Amino acid sequence: MPLSAEAVREALRGVKDPELDRDLVSIGMLKDVAIADGAVTVNIELTTPACPLRETIEKDVRAAIVKLGAKQVAVTFTSNVLGRRPGPAQARIPGVRNIIAIASGKGGVGKSTVATNFALALARYGARVGVLDADVFGPSVPGMLGDATSPAVTASGQKIQPAVHYGMKVMSIGFFVERDGAVIWRGPMVHKLLTQFLEDVEWGELDYLVCDLPPGTGDVQISLSQLIPLAGAVMVTTPQDVAIADVVRGISMFKKTEVPIIGIVENMSGYACSACGHHDPIFAQGGGRKLAETYGVPFLGQIPIDTRIRIGGDVGRPIIVGAPDSEIAKTYMEIAARVAGRLSVANFAAPKRSPSLVTIR
Ligand code: ADP
């Protein structure tokens, strides 16, 4: 068969997105095919720029086109992130496609550190990302992300323009209260504040809104699950905390409120010496994985204790921007890709998927 756009399309019917388990043509991922002097260029639209299977798809596409006799093959990628089905709760923040909660059983396990680096990892892939610091009792996100533009009231006076840190839209009560000042909120106030943070902030179009929750199972968790459709929750734990009732309570709270648990991240998983690279499992290791197995949820990855992570948080330059080529930054990128991949699969499989959510960027 001569090399033609039709032949390329036909050949790519034999290439599947391994996670969605459907061929690229029937689900509309193959966008353009161009042929000039035996050189073929195809554009594939992924369901997330953080696609963990981009390389596999590229390899399979190339192989299929080379078989047709192409002299050269170029594969370009764009993305269009799938979102939740529209509904009354989604109407509160219509431009936000996926809201991801970052949770932990107790404080101090590195939840906010994971939330900020995870959000930055998604942004580094090219996704449009926001961060909502819902840890209203101990807001640490502004400090961890460093200096940025401050939130401001828009010209119309109706909306709040979020701060922008490293290209991400960020909102936190920490912008409005003294640093280290005690923040005391009662249940109804928490609900009102979160409602404002969701409805009155101009989030615009976002692929992912990362919510840093307070530790445990309290008013914020309940309010959020009532206010917005959470795409899922990532639980952060340390290796030695896995048997603690708090973590288990956290997991069962999400199950009860029908928020899918996307997976578990084990933080402070051993000590990585920044001088020599030696890895020492101070608190043992593998607890997060065991917990994931016990509850039948995915294990997303483990982050060691590393001085650069702590310093990055202290000076407002998280490791993913401070040391983007480090092993730890790579691990955060892998975790972000796993989460994005799982959300794509979940959104793809969701019944009555609305085409209105699938707009071209
Ligand atoms: P949480 O949100 O669970 O209360 P934080 O993210 O505020 O915890 O982290 C608590 C402290 O631990 C911070 O000083 C942070 O920089 C530090 N930290 C978190 N994760 C790591 C890590 N993997 N290695 C070194 N320090 C860490």
Answer whether residue 353 shows pLDDT above 90. Answer: no
Helix, strand and coil content of the chain, in percent to the nearest 5, comes to 35, 25, 40
Torsion of CA 98, 310, 184, 161, to 10 degrees: -50
Q: Of 109, 169, 180, nearest to 145 (Cα)?
A: 169
Q: Which atom of ligand 1 is nearest to the CA of 305?
A: 24
Give nearest CA residue, ligand 1 atom 27: 310
Name which residue leads in pLDDT, 254 or 150.
254
Longest dimension (CA), the chain: 73
Q: What is the pLDDT of residue 70?
A: 92
Give nearest CA residue, ligand 1 atom 6: 110
Question: Do 9 and 33 form a contact (C-beta atoms < 8 A)?
Answer: yes
**What's the 318 CA to ligand 1 centre distance in angstroms?**
11
Q: Which atom of ligand 1 is nearest to the CA of 107?
A: 4
Q: What is the pLDDT of residue 267?
A: 93
Per-residue pLDDT tens over the stretch 225-251: 888 889 999 999 998 766 677 788 888
Q: What is the pLDDT of residue 311?
A: 96
**What's the 337 CA to ligand 1 centre distance in angstroms?**
22
Give nearest CA residue, ligand 1 atom 19: 110
Q: What is the pLDDT of residue 317?
A: 96
DSSP β-ladder status, 129-133 and 208-212? parallel
**What's the 82 CA to ligand 1 centre distance in angstroms?**
31
Give nearest CA residue, ligand 1 atom 8: 110
Give nearest CA residue, ligand 1 atom 22: 305
Answer whether residue 88 shows pLDDT above 90. Answer: no
**CA 69, 70, 75, 81 torsion: positive or negative?**
negative
Answer whether residue 360 shows pLDDT above 90. Answer: no
Q: What is the pLDDT of residue 247?
A: 82
Share of the chain above pLDDT 90, in %: 62
Q: What is the pLDDT of residue 5?
A: 93
Q: Give me the helices (H) in 296-326, please.
A: 307-315, 319-322
Residues having CB closer than 6 A to ligand 1 are 104, 107-113, 140, 267-268, 303, 305-306, 309-310, 313
Question: Do 103 and 233 form a contact (C-beta atoms < 8 A)?
Answer: yes
Answer whether residue 358 shows pLDDT above 60. Answer: no
Q: Which atom of ligand 1 is nearest to the CA of 269?
A: 23
Where does the pLDDT of residue 92 fall: very low under 50, low under 70, confident under 90, or very high at 90 and above?
Answer: confident
Segments of 217-284 assigned E as strands: 232-237, 261-272, 279-280
Give nearest CA residue, ligand 1 atom 20: 110
Probe ligand 1: pick from 285, 307, 310, max atoms within 8 Å of CB? 310
Q: Which atom of ligand 1 is nearest to the CA of 236?
A: 3
Per-residue pLDDT tens over the stretch 249-299: 888 899 888 899 999 999 998 887 767 777 777 666 678 888 888 888 999
Dist CA 128 CA 49 (whole Å) = 10
Helix axes 111-124, 307-315, angle to 10 degrees: 80
Q: Give me the helices (H) in 15-96, please.
A: 54-66
DSSP β-ladder status, 39-46 and 72-79? parallel
- The average pLDDT across 16-35 equals 93
Per-residue pLDDT tens over the stretch 308-350: 999 999 999 999 999 999 999 999 999 999 999 999 999 988 7
Q: What is the pLDDT of residue 179?
A: 63
Give nearest CA residue, ligand 1 atom 13: 310
Question: Do 262 and 100 form a contact (C-beta atoms < 8 A)?
Answer: yes
Mean pLDDT of the chain: 88
Q: What is the pLDDT of residue 226?
A: 86
Where does the pLDDT of residue 219 fall: very low under 50, low under 70, confident under 90, or very high at 90 and above?
Answer: confident
Q: What is the pLDDT of residue 30?
A: 96
**What's the 287 CA to ligand 1 centre distance in angstroms?**
18
Name which residue leads in pLDDT, 2 or 57.
57
* CA distances (Å), origin 49, targets 207, 245, 253: 10, 37, 31
**Number of neighbours of residue 165 by Cβ within 10 angstroms:** 24
Probe ligand 1: pick from 106, 113, 114, max atoms within 8 Å of CB? 113
Q: What is the pLDDT of residue 348?
A: 87
Q: Which atom of ligand 1 is nearest to the CA of 138?
A: 4
Per-residue pLDDT tens over the stretch 178-217: 766 656 777 788 899 999 999 999 999 999 999 999 998 8
2-37: burial string, b at 16+ Cβ within 10 Å, e else: ebeeebbeebbeebbbebbeeebbeeebbeebebee
Dist CA 275 CA 132 (whole Å) = 35
Answer whether residue 151 shows pLDDT above 90. Answer: no
